[in-house]
Chain A
Amino acid sequence: MSESILETKGLSKAFGGLLALDKVDLAIEAGTITAIIGPNGAGKTTLFNLITGVYPASDGQILFQCTPLKDASSHKRAALGIARTFQNVLLFGNMTVLENIMTGQHTRSRYGFLGAALRFPRARREEEAISLNAMKYLNMVGLGIKAQHNALSLPLGQQKLLAIARALATEPKLLLLDEPGAGLNALEKRELSDLIRRIRETGISIVLVEHDMPLVMGLAEWVVVLDSGQKIAEGTAAQIQKDQRVISAYLGEEVE
């Protein structure tokens, strides 16, 4: 097995008395597509929030490229190379499509208030690079002609693509997609699968939380199943589909 890009060891999160995540051990192999599935309330989004540092873990640790993240804040993790999308998309509605992606380049540029205020040559140079890179990601998700539209004027499917482009613009090593397929039609889902594969080919490791089983089974090389905060199974798509515990978690059968 090649090197892990991300590992969690005994990762737990309690909200008051509720144990949302219970001693989860994960190892995400670099350069792969991993899916995390599980019924509602299994702790999938909580896992994402812990990895991206939205809130601290109650116990356990997260290693990114073999280095513990400890309590690094969200924006520091983004700078390290962990990007994500959100279930509820969360685009910047006060900006155009292109500006949304340009904002994604934040950590890949340096100039600050003074450079901006006085338009230093360095600021202009960086600004040019930001626009060029943003166009690249815009075209990658096929939204080139919508560059100047308001982000929220796009239909949901394109908004989700834009959110992925914005995350890509941070030039991540690990991309976490939270239900990228939700609300998309069959055609959009096929395009989404293609896009995710193309992203993987650029060397970015992908973890996705998804409810759409055909999408997951077609994409993921490794599937992790969570239920009530615990990892109940992991394996290839084919292995998972035959796993009794997984079937019972989804269909509510008793395990003998």
Chain B
Amino acid sequence: MLARVKSKWTYLVIAALLAFSILIPFDWFLGQYTVLMIFIGIFTMVTVGLCLLMGYTGQVSLGQAAFYGMGAYFSAILSKTYSVNPWLAMMMAAAATGAFAYVIGYPFFRLRGNYLAVATLGLGVIIHILLRQLGPGGPDGMAGIPYLSIGGFAFDNYFKRYFLVWFFCLATLFISQNIVRSRTGRALRAIHGSEAAAESIGINVDQFKVKIFALSAVYASLAGSLFAHNMAHISPSTFDPMASVVIVVMAVIGGLASIWGAIFGAATVAILKYELLLGFGEWDIVVYGLILMLVMIFMPEGLFVGLRELFGRWRLRYAQRGAEP
């Protein structure tokens, strides 16, 4: 509760973070990390969908990479092979992926807990194999995917795309935040709390589960499309079942039941994956596991809540020291 009170400190921190993040892609500042930041933005979008599903509604999914991959491939195929406008391709991909998740959601959510986890894991495996076998280019994937553009303004370098990706990422976070603090959000949390009680007060439990599953798929699909239009080249290995596990790791590290924590989770894992652990090769998964364990032991509600509490405690101590004569 303490840390929830919005003080001048909170606004100061937010303003500083905002200024910092606007300056990141400039070459004289942290320009070399622009691509990394783009990845963090994209991962955050996938992660926040999983947070809504797992953290708020209490439903496991080990197959989010499937939707991420579907978004990327739909977008790539439509815009490259069929010359559809990339924006339209992105929207069509999101609609198709969302509809797909909605339809498979009904049989899926007859399952609970571990069974649901296995079913979603299976979905991830199947989609990955389909992308390898049926996707254009097979295991090599496809290249030459067009960039997004508005009128004559093309997002043709990382500097521009940094702002594009983070616009989508922040929009996703704000929308999720609004959902969480609404009638819908309460219904989702009620399902997590007690399905029997949720039903007893008129919440259509099955339908809400399917809808939030579809929403998380739409987020993942949009992120996948952004990935495709960013990298211009995609291959199935990006969307393998291990990617789904990494998404879960991001969600857990950031804090399952915290929307803004998704950024922290995505950032931690992305920085490890693309910067700090490059020398580890395939051993990086061991380090993820270790970090996951440490976070679970010391900050079970994730980095965001954990750090906020730490900050709050530090502030309290600071205030007490100031009060002493």
A residues whose Cβ falls under 8 Å from a Cβ of B: 52, 54, 73-76, 78-79, 83-84, 86, 90-95, 99, 102-107, 109, 111-113, 115-119, 123, 126-127, 130, 148, 166-167, 169-170
Interface assignment of B215: CB less than 8 Å from any CB of chain A: yes
Stretch at the interface among B75-83, B123-131, B187-195, B259-267: B187-195
Determine the chain A residues whose CB is within 8 A of the CB of B192 once the complex forms. Answer: 92, 94
Nearest A residue to B196 via CB reads: A90
Interface assignment of B146: CB less than 8 Å from any CB of chain A: no
A84 contacts B200, C-beta separation under 8 Å: yes
Determine the chain A residues whose CB is within 8 A of the CB of B202 once the complex forms. Answer: 75-76, 78-79, 106-107, 170
Partner of A94, one of B193, B200, B201: B193
B205 contacts A90, C-beta separation under 8 Å: no
B215 CB to nearest chain A CB (Å): 7
A202 CB to nearest chain B CB (Å): 18
A130 to B186, CA, bound (A): 12
A201 CB to nearest chain B CB (Å): 22
* Contacts known (A74-B200, A83-B200, A170-B202); A116 close to B184, Cβ less than 8 A: yes
A54 contacts B182, C-beta separation under 8 Å: no
The 21 sampled A-B contact pairs (Cβ below 8 Å) are: A54-B196, A75-B203, A75-B205, A78-B201, A86-B196, A95-B186, A103-B190, A103-B201, A106-B187, A106-B190, A106-B201, A106-B202, A111-B183, A113-B184, A116-B182, A116-B183, A117-B175, A117-B178, A117-B179, A119-B178, A123-B183
B184 CB to nearest chain A CB (Å): 4
- A94-B189, A113-B184 provided; 12 other pairs, C-beta below 8 A? A91-B194, A93-B193, A95-B189, A103-B203, A111-B183, A113-B179, A113-B215, A116-B178, A117-B179, A123-B182, A126-B183, A169-B201
Among the interface residues B182, B198, B215, which one has the most CB atoms of the partner chain A within 10 A? B182
* Contacts known (A91-B193, A117-B175); A83 close to B186, Cβ less than 8 A: no
Sorted nearest first, the 3 A-B pairs with minimum C-beta distance are A92-B193, A116-B182, A78-B202
Interface assignment of B276: CB less than 8 Å from any CB of chain A: no
A91 to B197, CA, bound (A): 7
Determine the chain B residues whose CB is within 8 A of the CB of A109 once the complex forms. Answer: 183
A52 contacts B200, C-beta separation under 8 Å: yes
Interface assignment of B199: CB less than 8 Å from any CB of chain A: yes
Determine the chain B residues whose CB is within 8 A of the CB of A93 once the complex forms. Answer: 193
Interface assignment of B204: CB less than 8 Å from any CB of chain A: yes
Determine the chain A residues whose CB is within 8 A of the CB of B193 once the complex forms. Answer: 90-95
Interface assignment of B211: CB less than 8 Å from any CB of chain A: yes
B61 CB to nearest chain A CB (Å): 18
A112 contacts B184, C-beta separation under 8 Å: yes
A104 to B185, CA, bound (A): 13
